[in-house]
Amino acid sequence: MKKDFYLTRYSLIIKRLERSPATYPELESYLLNSFEFQDAKIVSYSIRTLQRDIKDIANLFNFDIHNKKKGDNRYYIESRPVMEVDEYNQRLIESFQIMNAVNSQPDFAEFVYLENRTPRGIQNFYDLLFAIRNKRIIEFQHFKYKDQSTSSRKVHPMALKESKDRWYLIALDTKDEKLKAFGLDRISDLVVSKAGFKLQQRFDLKEHFKNAFGIMNLEEQPENIIIRSTKEQAEYLKSSPLHHSQKIQRETEKSVYFIYDLYPTYDFIQEILSFGNQVKVMEPKSLINKVKETLEKSIQQYDESSVEEEKS
């Protein structure tokens, strides 16, 4: 059995048992007939390996897998982690599956086309995670896109949050005691201090970001937002919701109406605009006006007078 194949085995075992309980022979047959095992030219899978894999899955993913009796009775997932941890585990499994699939094929570049991405500050990820877990004060230089300036920051790190393929540090700025988000790709000269900190007030970040879309500062109150989508676009929104609060309000012959409980932030407006004429905001009126204002400014850029100004 290949040593670097264990993550693929774990993901396949979980995938099979999520469908229904299975005996060892059923699991063995499922694994050996999978394309992953066939590509790796693996032709055997012992019950001893299965038992070892089950223990490793429990330690790594917090999945409790048991069988009802000794021998070849059915194995099943007895308990699952809380929703947030389960979602993290699923993404971890998916990442490992892709990594193993790509690494196992020397000619993968002919068939798998990855997006070209520039470095996004991930080199500081572990150091930041260490500082968060151990409540260490950190200092760094932060570059601001808006005015192309760099400033020194001293913060109390609290969490790491992902948004649109970018990672952000959520931290309390010691300068003004405000909760802020700092893009990891704009952090440099990071120093993790030996000095610790104790928060003066309790922050429930899970609650803080519950109604958030993106990473913008949440200064407004969440609102019920209703959008109307074409039937075709609705299928994409159903399969990949914009936010966990997304619900279908109603459907007509030509449209689907979705409702959200969200802060009407700049990030959300940009997301809505990205759908073009496939999606329209129906409520609230304040958000409709913001979208219209943004569109009007965009159209103004293409006015003949604006084009002439650029030429001159």
**88-118 per-position pLDDT tens digit:** 667 777 776 677 667 666 676 677 777 776 6
Q: Could you give phi then psi for residue 145, rounded to 5 degrees?
A: -65, -40
Q: Where does the pLDDT of residue 236 fall: very low under 50, low under 70, confident under 90, or very high at 90 and above?
A: very high
Q: Please report which helix (H) or strand (E) contains residue 273, including its range.
A: helix 266-273
- Is the model's pLDDT at 85 over the cut of 70? no
Max Cα distance, the chain (Å) = 83
DSSP-derived 3-state class of residue 278: helix
Answer yes or no: is pLDDT of 306 > 70: no
Please report the pLDDT score of residue 265 as a whole number: 84
Q: What confidence tier does 122 reach under pLDDT thresholds 50, 70, 90?
A: confident
Classify domain 122-203 at the CATH class level: mainly beta
Say whether domain 3-110 belongs to CATH 1.10.10.
yes
End-to-end CA distance of the chain: 69
pLDDT, tens digit, 9 for 90 and up, residues 134-178: 999 999 999 988 888 999 999 999 988 888 778 899 999 999 888
Architecture of domain 223-300 in this structure: 2-Layer Sandwich (3.30)
Q: Where are the domains of the chain?
A: 3-110, 122-203, 223-300
